[in-house]
Amino acid sequence: MDKLIVSSSPHFNGKKTTQNIMLDVIIGLAPAMIASVIIFGIRAAVVIVTCIAACVASEYISRRVMKRPQTVGDLSCVVTGILLALNLPVTINPLMAVFGSVAAIVVVKQMFGGIGQNFVNPALTARIILMNSFPAPMTHWTDAFDYSAAADAVTTTTPLSGMMYVNSPNSAPDYMQLLWGTHGGCLGETCALAIILGGLYLIARKVISPVIPVTYLATVAVFSAILGRDPLFDLLAGGLMLGAFFMATDYTTSPLYWKARIVFAVGCGVLTILIREFGSLPEGVSYSIVLMNIITPLIERYVKPRAFGKPKEKKGKGAAGMKLDAKSVLAPAAILFAICIVVAAALAGTNALTEDRIAQAALAKAEESRMVVLPGAEAFQESGDGTHYIGLSKEAPDGGAVGYVFETESKGYGGTVKVMTGISTEGEITGVVVLSHSETPGLGANAEKESFREQYQQPVGNLAGGIQVVKFQAPNEGEIQAMTGATITSAAVTNAVNSAIEMYQDAYASEGGK
């Protein structure tokens, strides 16, 4: 033997090479790429080409700088570029796509040794980095077949984000729309049919095992039904199909043994549905797979087949053959308990020192907000039933009421949106203030702007059906214009205001507005 070749896993026997495998993955991703260009236009192709070029250049340059053999030819960087592109919206700034590509290749992949040595999926990790770095552009969706696809293009919601808010003007697409991908979303997550075809191709070519995708999808369906959700909707919506077939099955970051793969896939499925149901994000695939990637070594340590002829582990020993005694178990637990006590005591002390100041600041802010939404009032007193405040003024007859202030809330894109609404005794909405929210900076956070809030200053008597949200047209009386890229937040604020209107009408409409 002239040369001994040493390399990291995965290893293949026969004619299979890393390049062959990656070429099959590219072919499997081809239907999703073609579908994205058909659905979102030529800009989708630009995003895909940009990510591929940036990933290839990043790998080539980083390998040269690190003085390692070139691996561009194995096509793994091309696959990373395609997967990252398919996880991005069509309106993403190309420079942001390049930033994500560099993070995926240089930081996640090459800094850990290159292909076969990264412990998390590069494309998914890059998407998470972009989501946290540029939340507004990463959640700027366009309608299907809106080929303008510019930064100011017509915006819409994704099916999952629409389902987070039941009363959203954009109802969730039907199953055929989800199957064909004729709705808003990332490039590669809309057309479920294209992803399924690509996944079946990889299974037929024996590039991936069906264990992870089938178990992942089945787990999501089961837990979706348990939580009272729509299992078919959860399967077809979002990035679940793309994640199950193309990213959860990554050789390097997924388990080797089939039993461990089942545990891995079940974990991905449970985390995905829990994030979708209880989290502030509508989607949970990226975080679920990355979290399970991190604990893959632990799964493989405790869930692995017993070698032929090897006796079973004796009781009292761990999976690694370590003897479990009281000292080895109790000492770490005692240290951890002590740390928790110290941290808890520090937090309790900090809370005790600042609690009064925080409460006073909250009361002052609430009083200031009441003055803003009901500018004619000089003082406020709580109503007899404790549901709202009554604004008083010396200018009113006998120093009486000039209006009422209601605090209501509704569910927005990122969580609960709390709103304060002022209504005069004449039945006019005098002001609206968003007290708190967790909406996307640059989009939903625009609900705080006066230009949006002043739209609600309308007579209550003309709002029999409540205020309605409209898009792409000038609002008439009884309507407000939705914020660009933040329809769900617009609807959330509107629903909170409508709740205040209902409370006012129940309490005072029978008195003629007095």
Question: Cα(270)–Cα(368) distance, rounded to whole angstroms?
Answer: 44
pLDDT of residue 245: 94
pLDDT one-digit tens code per residue, 440-454: 666 667 778 888 888
Q: What is the mean pLDDT of the chain?
A: 82
Question: Cα(286)–Cα(123) distance, rounded to whole angstroms?
Answer: 9
Max mean pLDDT range (59-68, 333-342, 359-368, 397-406): 59-68
Span of 4-8, 189-193, 295-299 with lowest mean pLDDT: 4-8
Question: 273, exposed or middle or buried, with CB in 10 Å at 0-12, 13-18, 19+?
Answer: buried
Is 118 within 8 Å of 108 (Cβ atoms)? yes
pLDDT of residue 153: 45
129 pLDDT more than 60? yes
* Bigger pLDDT: 81 vs 439: 81
Looking up tokens 């637990």, which residue turns up? 333
Question: Cα(420)–Cα(400) distance, rounded to whole angstroms?
Answer: 21
* Bigger pLDDT: 37 vs 333: 37
pLDDT one-digit tens code per residue, 274-295: 888 887 666 789 899 999 999 8
Residue 137: closest CA among 91, 97, 185: 91
Bridge partners of 323? 317
What does DSSP assign to residue 510? G
246 pLDDT more than 80? yes
Backbone angles phi, psi at 481, to 5 degrees: -85, 125
Question: Which is it for the CA torsion 296, 77, 110, 90, positive or negative?
Answer: negative
Q: How many CB atoms lie within 10 A of CB 230?
A: 15
pLDDT one-digit tens code per residue, 97-106: 999 999 999 9
Is 190 within 8 Å of 86 (Cβ atoms)? no
pLDDT of residue 328: 57
169 pLDDT more than 70? no
Question: 416, exposed or middle or buried, with CB in 10 Å at 0-12, 13-18, 19+?
Answer: middle
pLDDT of residue 210: 93
pLDDT one-digit tens code per residue, 358-399: 778 778 888 888 888 898 888 888 888 888 898 888 877 666
Burial code (b: 16+ CB inside 10 Å, e: under 16) for 157-182 equals bbbbbbbbbeebbbebbeeebbbbbb
Span of 59-68, 116-125, 223-232, 409-418 with lowest mean pLDDT: 409-418
34 pLDDT more than 90? yes
C-alpha dihedral (106, 111, 116, 122), degrees to nearest 10 = -40
pLDDT one-digit tens code per residue, 470-495: 887 788 888 888 887 677 888 889 99
Is 25 within 8 Å of 78 (Cβ atoms)? no
Average pLDDT of the residues in 401-426? 86
Q: How many CB atoms lie within 10 A of CB 257?
A: 15
329: number of CA atoms within 13 Å, CB side? 8
Tell me the two tokens of residue 287: 């975080």
Length of the chain: 514
Span of 5-9, 21-25, 115-119, 427-431 with lowest mean pLDDT: 5-9
Average pLDDT of the residues in 25-33? 94
* DSSP 3-state of 482: coil
* Bigger pLDDT: 199 vs 362: 199
Residue 184: closest CA among 151, 158, 153, 145: 158
Tell me the two tokens of residue 427: 């039945």
Helices (H), 70-210: 76-86, 94-102, 122-133, 135-138, 159-164, 175-180, 192-204
- What percent of the chain is modeled with pLDDT above 70? 82
* DSSP 3-state of 413: coil
Is 441 within 8 Å of 432 (Cβ atoms)? no
Estimate to the nearest angstrom the gap between the alpha carbon of 435 and the chain centroid: 23
Backbone angles phi, psi at 431, to 5 degrees: 180, 155
